[in-house]
Chain A
Amino acid sequence: MCETCGCNEPTVAETHGEGSHAHKHHHHSHEHTVQLDIPVLQKNNRIAQENRAFLAERGIYAVNIISSPGSGKTTLLEALASHFGSKMAVIEGDVQTRRDSERIIRAGSRAVQIETGGACHLDAHSVAHALEDLDSEECKILVIENVGNLVCPSSYDLGENEKWAILSLPEGDDKILKYPSLFSRIQALIISKIDLADRLEFNIRTAVNECKSLNRNFETYSLSAKSGEGVDTLIGYISAKAGI
């Protein structure tokens, strides 16, 4: 600690003068420390809590789906939309285009597209605006389809009840430990495109075990949105969570 000003910075002190005139000279400018201890995403987290309260008030159960591009998120959501219809609404996050929300609307649910215009993830603020457009009394399930990306979306709380990750068979069973920040935070792991199982070497047990080393509380669902296999089990799970 600096003897002259009491600050915490180490300082180079030189003694000038002789005898009773000797004094220590200060070579660093005066600085002081302000302890903060604030989560960097505090503002996002605060808005996420507001979203959570908004959804809870309306009895809507919200899921934030995170996966790579092309893992079958939208195809799965089409299957859910044709089952739930107006009881479900979807927020589609994409860097560009409204293609995905158009697919959901054709399948029977309401959908709002957020075009992030380059950003790799959705944040709570953009979701808050989309929620205003989706307000409906019939809606009991909200699915937020995040931007296709296994890294960035995992840091942002959007106000959801659960995070789901979709991992498709063509991506390989070695992806879990490569993206630990996502797989440590999910409540459901969805292994998709299982209709390709006989053509691909994907060991579901390997993937699930690696996920268990990062995460103690998640459910696993294996399904093919294309063939329909396993989709009903997932529908049962989300229906129970949403109380419908």
Chain B
Amino acid sequence: MVDMHELSIASELLQQVASKVEMVASVREVHLRLGKMSGINADSLLFGFEALAPTMGYENVKLHIEEMRSLIRCRMCNYEDTLDDFDQIRMPCPQCGNFDRSVNGGMECTLDHIILED
């Protein structure tokens, strides 16, 4: 375990990539899908990744993070919208004015793909 959980997540990520390739030095790009509700901060994760990668034999590797959005759905009329920020939850549904809305999705933190140099 390492201080700051993004650092431990970066470490898990780099170890996972290492287990999939013959030479970590051949990995150029790591692509991650990160949900808005994952509890993981993208900037801290990037920082952790860049700090740890060279210590684990990686060279010139870049982390690309695709933020996966959450949806906010009205429980009355089912109107659905992407959630931009959490204060939106306290706003009425733009279609029917109801306040009872729920947030769904955006929990994942998934290693999507890697790009290797031959």
Q: List chain A positions with a Cβ less than 8 A from chain B.
A: 9, 29-44, 116-121, 123, 126, 151-152, 154-156, 177-178, 180-182, 184-185, 210, 212-214, 216
Contact = CB atoms under 8 A, between A and B. Distances in A.
Interface size classification for chain B: 35 or more
Contacts of A35: 112-113
B112 A210 contact: no
A119 B112 contact: no
B110 A38 contact: yes
Contact of A31 (B86, B101, B117): B117
A76 B114 CA distance: 46
B109 A40 contact: yes
Contacts, number: 120
Given A38-B111, A116-B1, 13 more contacts: A30-B117, A31-B117, A33-B116, A36-B113, A39-B108, A40-B9, A41-B109, A118-B2, A118-B3, A120-B4, A123-B1, A155-B38, A155-B109
A34 B112 CA distance: 9
Contacts of A155: 5, 9, 38-40, 109
B118 A178 contact: no
Contacts of B117: 29-31
B42 interface: no
Contacts of B103: 180, 184, 213-214
A47 B40 CA distance: 20
Contact of B38 (A38, A123, A181, A214): A181
